[in-house]
């Protein structure tokens, strides 16, 4: 195996960055149903605020990382709240470096109120982007919230 050393070249190990804001102490209106589908969450700058987008992010992250046990907990919480749940048979999407989502997934599956606020509060959202961009994906809000960051 040949090793090459490049000198005088600026290089970075840039990657996607995602910030997740989950509003605290929010009264949420629970829907009658929710559908989870796979999505593609990579380097692009995006602001995910809809229930469907947040559900897709969680669904894709759980399945990509073989966290099916945790997705089963999500289903249990939602069914307990009389929310009809449907989901795609296959998850064909990805979250760039989704293995970095464990803290977030544990947080929403260990606390029913946090899960419901994440999915259904209009104040909970996800910012996606990358560390090459000048677009700031910091969470800057003036209400109580939990914050999770996925970088890599």
Question: Which pTM value belongs to this model?
Answer: 0.87
CA distance 77 to 64: 21
Q: Is the dihedral of CA 95, 96, 99, 104 positive or negative?
A: negative
* pLDDT of amino acid 91: 86
Domain boundary assignment for the chain: 16-151
* pLDDT of amino acid 13: 52
Residue 66: CA atoms inside 13 Å, Cβ hemisphere, count? 0
Write out pLDDT tens, residues 67-108.
Answer: 788 999 999 999 999 999 999 988 889 898 888 899 999 999
Per-residue pLDDT of the chain (152 residues; tens, 9 = 90+): 554 444 443 344 557 888 999 999 989 999 999 999 999 998 888 999 999 999 999 999 998 877 788 999 999 999 999 999 999 988 889 898 888 899 999 999 999 999 999 999 999 999 998 877 677 778 889 999 999 888 76
Cβ atoms < 10 Å from Cβ of 51: 18
CA distance 1 to 150: 34
């Amino acid at each position: 195996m040949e090793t090459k050393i490049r000198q005088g070249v600026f290089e970075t190990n840039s990657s996607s960055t995602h910030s997740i804001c989950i509003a605290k102490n929010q009264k949420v209106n629970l829907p009658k149903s929710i559908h989870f589908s796979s999505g593609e969450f990579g380097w692009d700058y995006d602001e995910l605020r809809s229930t469907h987008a947040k559900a897709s992010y969680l669904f894709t992250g759980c399945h990509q990382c073989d966290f099916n046990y945790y997705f089963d907990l999500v289903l249990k919480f939602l069914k307990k709240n009389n929310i009809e749940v449907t989901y795609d048979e296959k998850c064909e999407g990805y979250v760039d470096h989704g293995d970095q989502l464990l803290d977030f997934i544990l947080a929403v599956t260990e606390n029913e109120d946090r899960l419901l606020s994440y999915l259904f509060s209009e104040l909970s959202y996800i910012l996606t982007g990358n560390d090459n961009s000048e677009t700031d994906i910091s969470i800057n809000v003036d209400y109580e919230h939990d914050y999770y960051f996925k970088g890599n």
